Amino acid sequence: MFKRALIVAAVAAACSASAYAEVTISGSAELDVMYYTNQTADGKGKFAIDTPVIISFDGADKWDNGLSTIWRISQKPGPGGSDKATGYSADGKAAPGQTFGSREAFIGVKGGFGTVKFGRIFQQTYLQKDWPYLTDGSGNTGEDRGVGSGAFFDNAVGYEGTFGNVNVFASVDLGNGFTDKKNGTQGYELGGGATFGAFHVDASYLAQKNGSYATPGSVDSSGKVVAGNPDVAASGYDSTFFVGARGAFGPVTLSLDWAHDKFDRTDVKEDAIHGKVGYSFNDKLSLNAGWTHIKDNGGGDNKADQFSTQLGYNVSKNTMAFVQYRYIKLGDAGKNPVGFTWQAQGIAGNKDSMQRLVVGTWTGF
């Protein structure tokens, strides 16, 4: 090890700094103290603390012809993020999909034509739904609801480009491979946006193939045991169509977005419409409030509404302190829309409403 370190040091000393590709580190750290109501059948609430930290390593190396190789490795390493943080199984090994780079891990090429990425990448539809439409704290009814809530394509080729006031994107996910019809998770998306003065519009379509699954055994009316199928081939695509528009009028911002999700295996179609108004008091203090209505067509026609609001104060250039509030109301207790299950914040099965209050800070670096 010592000899190898000397060799590395000698090589590094012989090369100028400009010979190395550019590498940057960025990310965010968040602290959330939360209280949830109606978490049990007798109406008890609970406190929770969430501390998600994101760290990303990005590299770029410019070619002689002006193009660049780019790469990224990104992760939520903890210490206690509620989603996509590093987890461990009972044997101490990293849980599947939770290893370093399980947030994003790609290599690509960038130039005047745009950017092409290969690897594990964010679904651009997910990001398009997210910011800035959901600055009222309604992510659970937005990008984290329904088809595409998984956020990532695991084995994809993606393109992003900007041409004047128009941006476009397209991605294809190979999933487990196109050659085996039993495998699923293949997917694709296409979308973009355009700016017209103070107004901006977005639209996208994403479809993802259902994976293979097992069916349980049963007993028919005559008492005969009917064997289940442990390996039903993947079939059908779930899909989501998203369109949104937003505009700024001095200190006031307005946005309206709609998502239509289709769940192939259950033949349920789900619509979610969300409107938001924001007001910036100054360069530090802002208030956003919005309402989301979710309605299933089929599968019981379940529905839900959510009011959400967030008051934010920039305590520094990179840190915001905030108070966030959500109120969820189901159409009937225990009847969640098909794409709104865990997103309903753990509401007890015999309750039709709940509230969540968060006090937290977010720091970008």
Most confident of 6-20, 70-84, 96-110, 330-344: 330-344
Q: How confident is the model at residue 174 (pLDDT cuts 50, 70, 90)?
A: confident
pTM: 0.84
Tracing tokens 């108070």 back to the chain, one arrives at 323
- Judged by DSSP in three states, 82 sits in coil
What per-residue confidence (pLDDT) applies to 182? Answer: 52
H-type alpha helices, 122-246: 124-130
Mean pLDDT of 14-38: 83
Domains of the chain: 23-86+98-213+235-364 (2.40.160.10)
Residue identified by tokens 């753990």 is 346
Beta bridge partners of 47: 35
Q: Give me the pLDDT at residue 200, please.
A: 98
Instruction: Give me the chain's average pLDDT, please.
Output: 86
pLDDT tens track for 275-292? 999 999 999 999 999 999
3-state secondary structure of 263: strand
The pLDDT of residue 265 is 84
pLDDT at residue number 67: 97
pLDDT band at 340 (very low <50, low <70, confident <90, very high): very high
Give the whole-angstrom CA distance, residue 123 versus residue 226. 40
Q: Dihedral of CA 230/341/37/323: which sign?
A: positive
Mean pLDDT, range 271-277, rounded to an integer: 98
Q: How confident is the model at residue 218 (pLDDT cuts 50, 70, 90)?
A: low
Give tens-digit pLDDT for 127-149: 999 999 999 999 999 999 999 88
Residue 304's H or E segment, with its range, is: strand 303-314
The answer to whether residues 158 and 170 touch, using CB atoms and an 8 Å cutoff, is yes
Residue 177, token pair as written in the block = 């491979």
Q: What DSSP string runs through 211-251? A: PPEEE--EE-TTS-EE--EEEEPP--EEEEEEEEEEEEETT
Position 68 pLDDT exceeds 60: yes
- As a whole number of angstroms, the distance between CA 34 and CA 47 comes to 6
* pLDDT tier at 228, thresholds 50, 70, 90: low
pLDDT of residue 21: 74
